[in-house]
Amino acid sequence: MQQNKTQKKFWSGSGGEMWVKDQAVFDRRLQSLGNAALQKIEFKTGMDIVDIGCGSGTTTLDILAVVGEKGSVTGVDISQPLLQLAAKRVEISGLTSARFLNQDVQTKPLDASSFDAAFSRFGVMFFEDPTKAFVNINQALRSGGQLAFVCFQSPERNLWASLGQRVFEKHLGIKMYEDKRAPGPFAFQEKSYISAILEAAGFVDIAIEGVEKTVDWYSGISISQAVDNLLRANPIISEKLTAAVVSSRDLIRAKLETSYAEYTSGGNIRFPAAVWIVSAISSSKQDGL
């Protein structure tokens, strides 16, 4: 069985296309949370960095600005639509020390000992075999290489998710996020699970810091558009809605719009978010990983 088949299909199809369309919305939403993880890496000019799950290339561009033309950034993602957008944005920027790989680091390892640091902004929670993926990431780092990423805590601590979760469970019979460790946005909600994966993959000096803040989850779009965004973001929800009767779809939309209206301020829909900022060091001993 091909690993990560569902994720590859989603991110190379409707999921990736949606992120391309709403790239600016997603970047405004995630930028401050990603920056908190970027600060955990001690960047120096000339470093070689791998950006795991680089998406549309925003974090790749941010890192390029720090490491300079003497350094390099390799953006890796399984979404062809997002990588095409990323490459176009880098080309427009005039920066030349970036490359992009349409590759799943879980199933195809990166070149060994090629990078000084690995970074990810919400791109490492979708592996079917996360330990194997992080073994590959570790082997791609030079001895003492740095790792930093940001991932979500539980859906209960992220209102943008739990609001919809309650509505979908009641009206569609979908019990979302039942398996706490299933590939998806909340696969790394358990702090102990993250530590166990990184230790098994050979990382040391592991630090996991909780950060909570209110985020402009939707900016510059209407409540109706924000609900559209939510309903298209998950393939399971999208399929269930398509099969549902019109009255149920209308009821779900109405309840979501009413809930979202309570969190609207100054044209933005603002939700509290809780994330883990994770950092670690690649072990000097690569043998046997």
pLDDT(288) > 60? no
* Closest residue by Cα to residue 122 from 78, 188, 190: 188
The CATH fold assigned to 5-156+178-212+275-282 is Rossmann fold (3.40.50)
User: Where does the pLDDT of residue 1 fall: very low under 50, low under 70, confident under 90, or very high at 90 and above?
Assistant: very low
User: Where does the pLDDT of residue 284 fall: very low under 50, low under 70, confident under 90, or very high at 90 and above?
Assistant: low
Residues 36 and 274: beta-carbon distance below 8 Å:
no
Q: What is the pLDDT of residues 37-85, one digit of tens each?
A: 999 999 999 999 999 999 999 999 999 999 998 999 999 999 999 999 9
Q: What is the pLDDT of residues 135-184, one digit of tens each?
A: 999 999 999 999 999 999 999 999 998 998 888 888 888 788 889 999 98
What's the DSSP call for residue 111?
P
CB atoms within 10 A of CB 196: 14
Cα–Cα dist 234/219, whole Å: 20
Domain residue limits, the chain: 5-156+178-212+275-282
Q: What is the pLDDT of residues 206-242, one digit of tens each?
A: 999 999 999 999 888 899 989 988 887 766 677 777 7
Cα–Cα dist 40/10, whole Å: 30
What's the DSSP call for residue 70?
T
Q: Which residues contact 252 (CB under 8 A, 6 or more apart)?
A: 167, 168, 171, 172, 241, 244
